[in-house]
Amino acid sequence: MRKTIFILGILLVLVFSGCAKQYVCSDGKTVSDPALCIVKETPAPITNIPSEPKQEVVQQPVEQPKPVVKEIDVDIQKLFDKAKTMTNYEYDYTAPKNGFVARVSVLNNNLKILFTKGPQVYLGYKYDTVYFDTVKKSAVAMCTTLGDCENMTAAKQEDYNRVYVKTPLELIDEVVYAKLTGEEMMDNRNSKVVDYKLSDGETGRMWIDIFYGVPLKRLFTMDGEQVSATYFSFSKDSAKAVEVVVPAKAEFI
């Protein structure tokens, strides 16, 4: 009897122990006590990694052109203003240094230079007339005077900047300083004499026609030498449209 009771006791212990609670750890392992689970610490995300400093793009301030302050005597400015109203005029021009003489005809945006002392020669090409379009910045050289050239129809595109000559009206646009010093006769015309300065720094003396308001002469320094440019035999409303454009007979070479 005692033996039976002992056996029953053992069986009860086994039953109760078999019914004990089981725990499943986070790693999948089954244990009877949750304390037996080994918890692996998940490393905290790194949030304090220093980032590379951003390269700041420093915009350089755009330098604005300084306004041109003109110092021009009132009477001279009035003459300049009168000259600027002209769109049709002609004059003879003597260039500084090489001293070529030309008749210049201006009509709106078209300009013609006719060399009156013989043709020019450049890179083997001979010409005595150049036609300009001041808007398109184009220049066409031809020989138009009988006796100057063998071919009266040959035309050649020229370098505009090389052959262009500023007009008296373009010149007075560049005057930033003009001080009246007196009056003189120039080319049999009454003129006011001024000491002047241009926007490019050129300085000298200029004779301004009292009637038309255009320069008749300017005396200045070029390459360390004193030279002069003259604008004479001035006439208004004398240029003809057909004379200041490239002739239809032109054959480009």
Identify whether 130 is part of a domain: yes
Identify whether 34 is part of a domain: no
Residue 74 Cα distances to 60, 177, 206, 219, angstroms: 40, 11, 16, 22
Q: How many domains does the chain have?
A: 1
CA distance linking residue 191 with residue 194, whole number of Å: 10
**Cβ atoms of residues 22 and 29 within 8 Å:** no
CA distance linking residue 92 with residue 114, whole number of Å: 9
Domain that holds residue 171: 71-252
**Is 5 in a helix, a strand, or coil?**
helix
**Burial (CB count within 10 angstroms: exposed 0-12, middle 13-18, buried 19+), residue 57:** exposed
Identify whether 51 is part of a domain: no
pLDDT per residue of the chain (253 residues) written in tens, 0 to 9? 555 545 445 444 444 444 456 666 666 666 666 666 665 555 566 566 566 666 777 777 777 777 778 999 999 999 999 999 999 999 999 999 777 899 999 999 999 999 998 888 888 888 999 999 999 999 999 998 877 777 888 899 999 999 999 999 999 999 999 999 999 999 899 999 999 999 999 999 999 999 999 999 999 999 899 999 999 999 999 999 999 999 998 888 8
Identify whether 180 is part of a domain: yes
CATH number, position 212:
2.50.20.10
Identify whether 29 is part of a domain: no
**pTM (2 decimals)?**
0.71
H/E/C letters for each residue in 151-212? CCCEEEEECHHHHCCCCHHHHHHCEEEEEEEEEEEECCEEEEEEEEEECCCCEEEEEEECCC
Identify whether 220 is part of a domain: yes
Identify whether 46 is part of a domain: no
Identify whether 16 is part of a domain: no
